Amino acid sequence: MANSYRYVSKTATKTHMDFDYDGPSMKTTVPGPRSQVIHNVGAINFFCNYEESKGNYLVDVDNNRMLDIYTQISSIPIGYNHPALLKLMTNSSNLSTFVNRPALGILPPENFPDKLTESLLSVAPSGMTRVQTMACGSCSNENAYKAMFIWYRNKERGHSTPSHEDLTTCMINQAPGCPDLSILSFMGGFHGRTLGCLATTHSKSIHKLDVPSFDWPIAPFPRLQYPLEEFARENAQEEARCLEEVEDLIVKWRQKAKPVAGIVIEPIQAEGGDNHASPDFFRSLRKITRKPYRIFNTWMGDPSKNLFLAEVLNVIRRENLLEEVTRSGKALLNGLNELQAQYPGILSRARGQGTFCAIDICDDAKRNSILLKTRDKGVLLGGCGERSIRFRPALIFKEYHVHIFLNIFSDVLAQHK
């Protein structure tokens, strides 16, 4: 079915993007024959050729080239095989960081404190003067929770010296050494899948089913109506309702003798459906945690990943990627709003910050059919929540990539009218 009109790129500039492809190129439907012959398990979408993947484009083993707006569940910040990262790998002075993984907590390399200052701390929220790396998001959250519990107990004791009873009971998992404290989380939240994180994750039952958990309080996350400017009053009421609920839960759990030691919340609730809340809402929830020495494991992160992070930050600054991504994010959200006006029966609640955008589809079945159709036309998107589509492009996703996507997406929508 023909599409009513075409989005044309206003900015044809391709600065620093020589390593990007010109557009999608599909040889087969996905997963293609080669992907299907390789030993396969439930979750796998298809097999990839990471050597051939470049910039915004993921190439699969059937030589299908897809515009990737999901980027490995949002973990390819500046695109595939970025020349700056390849160059970093060939710099011989970096080799020893890769081949000698240190126990950072006891035997860090000389330059590690400086490296962290140049990388993570250079982009930390103001007021955050120290940072502790961990190997993955779940381990980071598990240790953040431990920091909350330790901070709370030290405050309760009035000092950090445990009693003999604390020391003996904790060895057998009993109070007071292992206190009955709780972390307040939000329905729809996702904070990881290790047992501690999982007790604060409430996005999909498949994550939690059959796994023992903690009796910890769960508050509702605001459900905003869009466009925001039309529903200012309703959304303010909704946020007030959720904040009240948080306060009630904190009282209830204190009465249950399972006091809340801390709160965990995502700035944008992603896995749960890309749910946003206002800055005011978050200010009301802010808590401070500490990071004492007891946050410790063998590796405490991986300095070779920090090498990549530092270079990623260099590229972001050198190429003004935040400016670029603000522009392409605006173009993406405008395009989504236009399509929403054109297909009110299918699309709703277009929303986003920068290119971290999402839109709802009328139902789950149509959402999934649209995702597959769009993929077969060479654009990779992700789903989240019950019927949302989420956009997670790399920071090198330019305005002309937005137009490539919008043209393909509007063709797919035309087929779903």
Tokens encoding 411: 């063709």
Instruction: Name the minimum Å distance from CB 177 to a copy of itself.
Output: 6
Residue 209 engages a copy of itself in binding (rule: CB under 8 A):
yes
Residue 12 engages a copy of itself in binding (rule: CB under 8 A):
no
Give the residue with the Cβ less far from a copy of itself, 23 or 83.
83
Among 1, 8, 12, 206, binds a copy of itself (CB under 8 A): 206
CB 252 within 8 A of CB 217: yes
Q: How far apart are CA 15 and CA 259, in angstroms?
A: 54
Residue 270, phi then psi, degrees to nearest 5: -85, -70
Q: Give the footprint of a copy of itself on residues 369-408 (CB under 8 A).
A: none
Instruction: Name the minimum Å distance from CB 250 to a copy of itself.
Output: 16
3-state SS record for 229-293: HHCHHHHHHHHHHHHHHHHHHHHHHHHCCCCEEEECCCCCECCCCCECCCHHHHHCCCCCCCCCC
CA dihedral 132, 282, 269, 388 (to 10 degrees): -150
Instruction: Name the minimum Å distance from CB 38 to a copy of itself.
Output: 7
Q: Give the footprint of a copy of itself on residues 223-282 (CB under 8 A).
A: none
Name which of 382, 369, 359, 378 is nearest 415 in CA terms: 369
Compute the Cα dihedral for 216, 218, 219, 221 and give only its sign: positive
Among 149, 186, 253, 405, binds a copy of itself (CB under 8 A): 149
Residue 161 engages a copy of itself in binding (rule: CB under 8 A):
no
Give the residue with the Cβ less far from a copy of itself, 118 or 411.
118
Q: Give the footprint of a copy of itself on residues 308-347 (CB under 8 A).
A: 308
HSE, CB side, 13 Å, CA atoms: give it for residue 96.
6
Residue 214 engages a copy of itself in binding (rule: CB under 8 A):
yes
Q: How far apart are CA 145 and CA 150, in angstroms?
A: 9
Residue 18 engages a copy of itself in binding (rule: CB under 8 A):
no
Residue 150 engages a copy of itself in binding (rule: CB under 8 A):
yes
Mark 106-135 with x for binding to a copy of itself (rule: CB under 8 A) and - for no binding. xxxxx-xx---------------------x
3-state SS record for 39-98: CCCCCCCCCECCCCCEECEEEECCCCEEEECCHHHHCCCCCECCHHHHHHHHCHHHHHHH
Residue 289 engages a copy of itself in binding (rule: CB under 8 A):
no
Residue 158 engages a copy of itself in binding (rule: CB under 8 A):
no
Residue 23 engages a copy of itself in binding (rule: CB under 8 A):
no
CB 103 within 8 A of CB 297: no
Give the residue with the Cβ less far from a copy of itself, 201 or 388.
201
Give the residue with the Cβ less far from a copy of itself, 73 or 123.
73
Among 9, 11, 28, 72, binds a copy of itself (CB under 8 A): 72
Residue 202 engages a copy of itself in binding (rule: CB under 8 A):
yes
Name which of 324, 317, 413 is nearest 374 in CA terms: 413
Instruction: Name the minimum Å distance from CB 292 to a copy of itself.
Output: 8
Residue 174 engages a copy of itself in binding (rule: CB under 8 A):
yes
Among 118, 180, 319, 376, binds a copy of itself (CB under 8 A): 180
